[in-house]
């Protein structure tokens, strides 16, 4: 008997490698559907509207929230991010595996509203390595990195709230482990 696929939530501190792991996984398994979030953050070089995020204005985000169009949303390091509800429910209804890559506050909201969701925490091999990755990515100025590292301390402390922890030492290994958790392979 095949179980209804569960919603999988991948969370973890900024810079730990969530996007890298998800991109690697989807290259080999494009059938895993990743929700595209709305955000008020400005695009980084190379980021495309509708692919990496729906880049919206503050007013547009206000509307999405007021109209109940988001499954969850949170403010993270000065910007707002949220998961469009309809697309996620549609995919789950069709029986397709669904992945959300969201922050801790969002993961907590999903846990509250969708009890069948599986929460996966992506942890860095060490604090020093997290700092190295976040700084090395070179996409944020020092004050934003500081803010994200401050958030990271809170996120790391919340690891026991998650169903599973994967340590991102090797992108290939973590992608494989995540696929196995999602019953894709
Ligand atoms: P997040 O999406 O969690 O904010 P990213 O995927 O942008 O993080 O990764 C942050 C930086 O760390 C990137 O420069 C990426 O290339 C690097 N990185 C990701 N995973 C690994 C890994 N396993 N080993 C070394 N570097 C990694
Ligand atoms: P970034 O700006 O680096 O793309 O993302 C910053 C943080 O916001 C990351 O922890 C990422 O997982 C989280 N995030 C991205 N989309 C969403 C979303 O829709 N909801 C929530 N709660 N967090 C999100």
pLDDT in tens, 115-140: 899 999 999 999 999 999 999 999 99
Q: What is the mean pLDDT of the chain?
A: 94
What is the best residue among 39, 81, 114, 117 to mutate for testing ligand 2's pocket, by most ligand atoms within 8 Å of CB? 81
Has residue 67 been placed in a domain? Answer: yes
1: in domain: no
Residue 1 has what pLDDT?
A: 39
Query: What's 121-176 look like in SS3?
Result: EEECCCHHHHHHHHHHHCCCCHHHHHHHHHHHHHHHHCHHHCCEEEECCCHHHHHH
Looking at the domain assignment, is residue 73 inside a domain? yes
Q: Residue 5 has what pLDDT?
A: 61
Range of the domain at 172: 7-181
142 lies in a domain? Answer: yes
Band (2; pLDDT cuts 50, 70, 90): very low
Residue 152 lies in a domain: yes
Q: What is the pTM of this model?
A: 0.95
Q: 101 and 88 in contact (C-beta within 8 Å)?
A: no
Task: Tell me: pLDDT of 160 over 90.
Answer: yes
Pocket test for ligand 1, best of 133, 155, 175, 177 (most atoms within 8 A of CB): 133
Instruction: Give pLDDT tens digits for 62-108.
Output: 999 999 999 999 999 999 999 999 999 999 999 899 999 999 999 99
Judged by DSSP in three states, 66 sits in: helix
pLDDT above 70 for 4: no
**Within-domain flag for 2:** no
Tell me the mean pLDDT in the region 2-26.
89
pLDDT of residue 3: 55
pLDDT at 6: 85
What pLDDT is attached to residue 22?
96
Q: What percent of the chain has pLDDT over 90?
A: 89
Centroid of ligand 2 to alpha carbon of 11 (angstroms): 9
Task: Return the ligand number nearest the Cα of 130.
Answer: 1
CATH number at residue 75: 3.40.50.300
Is the pLDDT at 60 greater than 90, yes or no? yes
* Tokens describing residue 160: 């026991």
Ligand 1: lining residues by beta carbon, under 6 Å: 14-20, 133, 136-137, 168-171
Q: Are 92 and 7 in contact (CB under 8 A)?
A: yes
- How many separate domains does the chain show? 1
Residue pair 73/108 in contact (Cβ under 8 Å)? The answer is: no
Please list every protein residue whose CB sits less than 6 Å from any atom of ligand 2.
14, 18, 37, 41, 72-74, 76, 81-83, 101-103, 105-106
């Amino acid at each position: 008997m095949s179980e209804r696929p569960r919603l999988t939530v991948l969370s973890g501190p900024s810079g730990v490698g969530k996007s890298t792991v998800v991109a690697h996984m989807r290259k080999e398994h494009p059938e895993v559907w990743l929700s595209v979030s709305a955000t008020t953050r400005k695009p980084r070089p190379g980021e495309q509207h509708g692919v990496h995020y729906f880049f919206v204005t503050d007013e547009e985000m206000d509307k999405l929230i007021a109209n109940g169009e988001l499954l969850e949303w949170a403010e993270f390091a000065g910007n707002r991010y949220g998961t469009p509800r309809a697309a996620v429910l549609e995919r789950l209804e069709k029986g397709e595996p669904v992945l959300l890559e969201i922050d801790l506050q969002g993961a907590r909201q999903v846990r509250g509203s969708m009890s069948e969701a599986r929460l996966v925490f992506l942890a860095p091999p060490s604090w020093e390595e997290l700092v190295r990755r976040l700084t090395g990515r070179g996409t944020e100025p020092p004050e934003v990195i500081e803010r994200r590292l401050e958030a990271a301390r809170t996120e790391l402390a919340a690891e026991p709230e998650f169903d599973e922890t994967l340590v991102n030492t090797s992108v290939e290994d973590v992608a494989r482990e995540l696929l196995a958790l999602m019953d894709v392979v």
